[in-house]
Structure 1
Amino acid sequence: MRNYIKITVLLLVLSISCTDVVDVDVQEAPTRLVIQASLDWEKGTMGNEQMVKLRNSTEFFDTTSNTEVTGASVSVTNDTSGEEFIFTDQNNGEYITTEFVPVLNQSYTLEVVHNGETYSAQETLMPVTEITDLYQDREDGFDNEELELHVEFTDPVDEENFYLFKFQRQGDLLPEFEVGYDEFVNGNEIDWWYEQEEDEDTDKIEVLVPGDVVAIEMYGISEAYYDYMDILIDQIGGVGIFSATPVSVKGNCVNLTTPDNYAHGYFRLTEVNKASYTFE
Structure 2
Amino acid sequence: MKNNIKLATILAIFITFISCDDKIDVEVPEASPRLVIEASLDWEKGTLGNDQTIKLSTSTSFFENTLNTSVIGAMVKVTNNDTNAVFNFVDQNDGTYTVNNFVPVLNGSYTLEVVYDGEVYLATENLTPITGINEVFQSLEGGFDEELLDVNITYNDPAPLGNFYMIRMQEVGDLFPIIETRSDEFTNGNVQEEFFEKEDDDEDPTEQFNPGDEVNIKLYGISERYYNFITLLIEQYDSAGNPFATTPAEIRGNCINTTNAANYAFGYFRVTEFDQVDYIFQ
TM exceeding 0.5: yes
CA distance, structure 2, for counterparts of residue 25 and residue 172 of structure 1: 36
User: What does residue 208 of structure 1 align with?
Assistant: 209
Displacement of 1:140 in angstroms is 2.2
- Residue of structure 1 equivalent to 2:147: 145
Structure 2 residue ranges without an equivalent (≥5): 1-16
Question: What residue number does 1:225 align with?
Answer: 226
CA 117–275 in structure 1, closer or farther in 2 if over 3 Å, else same: same
Task: State how 1:160-239 maps to structure 2 within 5 Å.
Answer: 160-198=162-200, 205=205, 206-239=207-240
Match in the other structure for 2:103: 101
Tell me the alpha carbon deviations over residues 209-265 of structure 1, each in whole angstroms, 9 at most, x when there is no partner. Answer: 111111111100000000000000011111122222222210000000000100000
Taking structure 1 as the reference length, what is the TM-score of the superposition? Answer: 0.89
Letter in 2 for 1:146: L
**Is the contact between residue 58 and residue 65 of structure 1 (CA under 8 Å) also seen in structure 2?**
no
Q: Cα 1:214–1:77, aligned 2, differ >3 Å: closer, same or farther?
A: same
- Distance (whole Å) between structure 1 residues aligned to residue 63 and residue 201 of structure 2: 25
SS in 2 for 1:231: helix
* CA deviation profile, 1:137-158 (whole Å, cap 9, x unmatched): 1112121111111111111112
- Contact in 1 for aligned 2:132/2:274 (Cα 8 Å): no
Describe how 1:107-122 pairs up with structure 2 within 5 A. Answer: 107-122=109-124
Q: Output the CA distance in 2 between the equivalents of 1:159 and 1:266.
A: 24
Q: Distance in 2 between matches of 1:23 and 1:49?
A: 50
The yes-or-no answer on 1:269 pairing with 2:271 is: yes
Q: Shift of the alpha carbon at 1:207?
A: 1.8
Query: What is the distance in 1 between the residues matched to 2:255 and 2:247?
Result: 24
Deviates more, 1:31-40 or 1:159-168: 159-168
* Pair 208,37 (structure 1): closer, same or farther in 2 beyond 3 Å: same
| Whole-Å separation in 1 of the counterparts to 2:211 and 2:245 | 34
SS at match of 1:85: strand
Stretch of structure 1 that moved more, 231-240 or 116-125: 231-240
Q: Which amino acid aligns with 2:186?
A: F
**Cα distance between partner residues in 1 of 2:262 and 2:190:** 44
- Rg: which structure is higher? 2
Q: Aligned partner of 1:84: which letter?
A: V
| CA distance 1:144–1:27, shift in 2 (3 Å) | farther
Secondary structure in structure 2 of the residue aligned to 1:112: strand
User: Which residues of structure 1 form unaligned runs of 5+?
Assistant: 1-15
Closer, same or farther: CA 112–199 of 1 in aligned 2, 3 Å: farther
* Superposed displacement of residue 98, structure 1: 0.5
**Contact 2:252–2:266 (Cα < 8 Å) also in 1:** yes
Instruction: State the match for 1:59 in structure 2.
Output: 61
SS at match of 2:278: strand
2:237 alignment partner, SS class: helix
Find the residue that maps to 1:59 and give its secondary structure. Answer: coil
Q: Is the 8 A contact 2:157 2:189 kept in 1?
A: yes
Q: CA RMSD in A?
A: 1.9
Q: After alignment, is 24-33 or 227-236 more displaced?
A: 24-33
User: Aligned pair in 2 of structure 1 residues 117, 171: CA closer, same or farther (>3 Å)?
Assistant: same
State the Cα deviation string for residues 189-213 of structure 1 (Å, max 9, x = none).
Answer: 111111111479xx75522111111
Q: Quote the Cα distance in structure 1 between the aligned partners of 2:96 and 2:113.
A: 15
Tell me how far apart the structure 2 counterparts of residues 63 and 177 of structure 1 sit (CA, whole Å): 28
